[in-house]
Chains A and B, each alone.
Chain A
């Protein structure tokens, strides 16, 4: 098998890694924000338990839970394995994002809320105009770590037979070709390099003020 053919096959798999990455971010960010508000609100105890489970149990097990439990308990199996991966990844990453958002929100000094309050701003206006922009700056470093981890974690989808890149490369090993397995690293290094540049750019965008 030629180098070009291997590349083509691996790229097909990598496309799935990219889709899974984008969809996970698309769903886990708003879900993480919802988790965060529930965690800081009246549902604190329940959410602490949920987050403990999501962060404390292996993502691989969570993939199997989303894969089998709806079918076993409610007789509504999720037929698309890719959909299973998106759901499991989104819920799992939402738990991490929840804690990052919470850390960011709680790091904003109480005086900022009070300053908004004495100026007669509504709670929503204080959050939107004062708190949220400052939280974004504070959470870029921990958020960036998760963004980089997620790129690599997408390979875990192979355990439920989503034909992502690592799975495609292991198929070559059964045919006696071992190098494509190591070669996949190049794709991830390029992807993480792009993400690292993006995060540096983003940090630069918020460097105009201290605080």
Chain B
């Protein structure tokens, strides 16, 4: 994925200024709240339009929302197959959801809902998977299992998080997006 000179303002307030980066592996986007991390992720996924700049990538992109945005009137399996009718049922077993196939999201725990959201994104076989604050809606004890899950996916994962420790676990590369200095690209490791 190659991102060049992304700028975005909301009503005169600059959210992102001249953000550029390139990655072929997992990338964690970190920084303080309100710094533009989520805005950047939404631009990458096509949910927001940048004022200027380009986003280039090969293949398909998937997105896992902070609050999952599961469809409450559909069962787990219906959520997964709504856009991928030929989804492999093995996905459920892979994510530990085999017994939850016919449950509605309201009957699932936060961790299970997240796994359904991940399964729904994976069902479309994306090449890049975006995660918006994957640990914020979960019990802190689940952080390690989420990191494990992300690392087990054979995808380029772009993860927005405010948790530096979690960022270290899921990505070698980090992009620090800071509200005060707008966007600064820093590499760590890799």
Contacts and interface: CB of A to CB of B under 8 A. Distances in A.
A112 B69 CA distance: 6
A211 interface: yes
A106 interface: no
Interface in A98-142: 109, 111-112, 114-121, 129-130, 133-134, 137
Contact of A118 (B63, B71, B105, B106): B63
B45 interface: yes
B69 A209 contact: no
B86 to A, nearest CB: 14
Interface residues of A, number: 20
A120 B65 contact: no
B118 to A, nearest CB: 13
B106 A210 contact: yes
A30 to B, nearest CB: 23
Contact of B82 (A121, A134, A137): A121
Contact of A119 (B67, B72, B82, B104): B82
B138 interface: no
Nearest to B71: A130
Contacts of B62: 118
B189 to A, nearest CB: 29
A209 B121 CA distance: 22
B124 A114 contact: no
B83 interface: yes
A138 to B, nearest CB: 11
A119 B69 contact: no
Contact of A115 (B71, B73, B124): B71
Interface string B52-90: 000000000111010101111100000000110000000
Contacts of B69: 109, 111-112, 114-115
10 A-B pairs with the lowest CB-CB distances in the bound complex, closest first:
A211-B72, A119-B83, A115-B69, A111-B69, A210-B106, A118-B63, A209-B104, A133-B73, A209-B72, A209-B73
